[in-house]
A and B are shown apart, each in its own frame.
Chain A
């Protein structure tokens, strides 16, 4: 009995609390839970507290539904938890944290790529027509 008990309480060396997404759901149907857990734990394993959820697929009204327990989030951030990059981006989108710089960079890169895709065909066609 003692052995079984000591197996369940896992002890770590180092590691800290992170707030990250835990993936769940079925095949071709992801569902993220926003979770406060130790950084050394498995992604979907035992967590300290669930702070919300995110449904990455749009629903019948064309929205992606996300819930955030802001009061507990503030508690864990006050306790010194770190955030994963997608969690930071999501909170930036929500308005709880300032916008993540990578979101801005991603938007600029998308726009540059769209411009390059539009410009070379236009430049290539007159060039090939010669």
Chain B
């Protein structure tokens, strides 16, 4: 019974974090009172502290020194909500680690998973900072072929989605074949076909209804840029399979 509970909790932790588009900047003016200009020197930020409203629908309003009453921008909203309703793992001002020059240091230390977890705790899923940090991490992993760092974590799904959308799947494919994970390779290619149904390998696969290694071979011939690497890896894998079945 305890093992069942542990498995359920582990499954919960493996749920992929949401991937959303960037949010639109808020730009709504509620009132303009030009004669208030000059009375104050600073902005006033008013937050609605009603407990039972979801954070997305809260009223957060800014009165500028020139008398304009406008809705707060997303950064101001996040800051105010963190001040009045603090969430664990978030800071009011985002830590300096998330700037590009410091992300490079983090990647050199191979701590991609930690920084992605911190990013999820700190930012909303549709904020431009969240998306930028995630894209930087995935690009760095793909550049240095460090796919193994994220393999069993919940960020693997997000990484695969990013790579398939930009058609940069070659390194990942080679890595999978080297580690003899053919099921993962086939699922990767089926996902690719689902996302880009107009490409040649997808049409061929649908016509001939290929499975397994044949699917990978067709995909490699039509789509990939690093054909040589993948062909070599496939050959090595087939030789290994042949020797193991023979013996």
Contact = CB atoms under 8 A, between A and B. Distances in A.
B59 interface: yes
Interface string B55-80: 00001011100000100000010011
Interface stretch (B28-36, B103-111, B155-163, B187-195): B28-36
A107 B35 contact: yes
Interface in A45-79: 52, 58, 60-72
A104 interface: yes
Contacts of A67: 46-49, 84
Contacts of B83: 65
A66 B46 contact: yes
B45 A95 contact: no
Contacts of B196: none
B46 A103 contact: no
B63 A94 contact: yes
Chain A to chain B: the 8 pairs with minimum beta-carbon distance, closest first: A71-B50, A94-B46, A69-B49, A58-B42, A67-B49, A63-B43, A67-B47, A63-B45
B25 interface: no
Interface string B122-154: 000000000000000000000000000000000
Interface in B92-117: 93
Contacts of A70: 48-50, 59
A110 B65 CA distance: 14
B89 interface: no
Contacts of A40: none
A94 B61 contact: yes
Interface centre among B30, B38, B63, B93 (most CB of A within 10 A): B63
Assign chain B's interface to a size class.
20 to 34
A114 interface: yes
Contacts of B37: 107
Interface residues of A, number: 27
Nearest to B83: A65
B44 A63 contact: yes
B58 to A, nearest CB: 10
Interface in B6-57: 30-31, 33, 35-39, 42-52
Interface string A31-44: 00000000000000
Nearest to A60: B93
B44 A66 contact: yes
Nearest to A104: B35
A1 to B, nearest CB: 37
A58 B35 CA distance: 22
Contacts of A127: none
B45 A66 contact: yes
B49 A63 contact: no
